[in-house]
């Protein structure tokens, strides 16, 4: 077996084992997810029904290569309307996690993670922010919230 097909099979198995993955076989491809998707309306290449079919057929690598998984804005309309309670948003989170583990997360995500590791928040709370907070009757916040002990799972994956 070639290295790439081994990667594809391994990935397929892992995705189907997730909670969202176990729901997928319930899909009967009615397309309600795609018809209600606001992103699909603007960008036909982002097609939730096709994404679900692709995963069921073991074509996750193609989804990674085309980059469509990063077009979902996680509005959950697909899940809300799905008659089989499958939806597409949660499986896309799983696909994104797998793509990121393979080093394929968009640059913007990597930058935000860096800020989170450094400050525990998306932005650093500076003196200016704290002066405003005091005027509002709020306490002064430390510029850095310590989330370090909670990142163990991340270290395991490295």
Residue ranges binding another protein (CB under 8 A) = 38-39, 42-43, 70-71, 73-77, 79-80, 87, 89, 93-94, 96-97, 100-101, 105-106, 108-109, 112-113, 116, 120-123, 125, 129, 132, 136-139, 141-142, 145-147, 149-154, 157
State the DSSP H helix or E strand holding residue 30, giving kind and residue range, or none if neither.
none
Could you give the CA distance from residue 85 to residue 63 in angstroms, rounded to a whole number? 22
Residue 26, classified by CB atoms within 10 Å of its CB into exposed (0-12), middle (13-18) or buried (19+), is exposed
Residue 140 beta carbon to another protein: minimum distance, rounded to whole angstroms: 11
Q: Which is nearer to another protein, 28 or 128 (CB)?
A: 128
62 vs 76, which CB is nearer to another protein? Answer: 76
CA distances from 154 to 12, 51, 89, 94, 130 (A): 22, 27, 22, 15, 31
Smallest distance from another protein to CB 104, Å: 10
Least distance from another protein to the Cβ atom of residue 2, Å: 28
What does the chain come to in residues? 158
Which one, 8 or 20, has the nearer CB to another protein? 20
Q: Which two tokens stand for residue 88?
A: 């597409």
């Amino acid at each position: 077996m070639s290295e790439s097909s081994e990667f594809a099979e391994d990935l397929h198995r892992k995705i189907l084992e997730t909670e969202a993955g176990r729901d997928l076989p319930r899909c009967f491809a009615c397309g309600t997810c795609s018809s209600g998707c606001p992103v699909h309306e603007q960008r036909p290449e982002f097609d939730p029904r096709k994404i679900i079919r692709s995963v069921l057929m073991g074509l996750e690598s193609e989804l990674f290569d085309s980059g469509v998984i990063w077009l979902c804005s996680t509005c959950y309309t697909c899940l809300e309307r799905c008659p089989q309670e499958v939806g597409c948003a949660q499986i896309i989170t799983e696909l994104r996690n797998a793509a990121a583990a393979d080093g394929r997360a968009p640059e913007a995500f990597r930058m935000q993670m860096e800020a989170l590791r450094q400050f525990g928040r998306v932005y650093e709370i500076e003196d200016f922010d704290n002066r405003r907070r005091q005027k509002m009757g709020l306490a002064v916040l430390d510029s850095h919230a310590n989330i370090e002990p909670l990142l163990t799972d991340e270290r395991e994956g490295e």
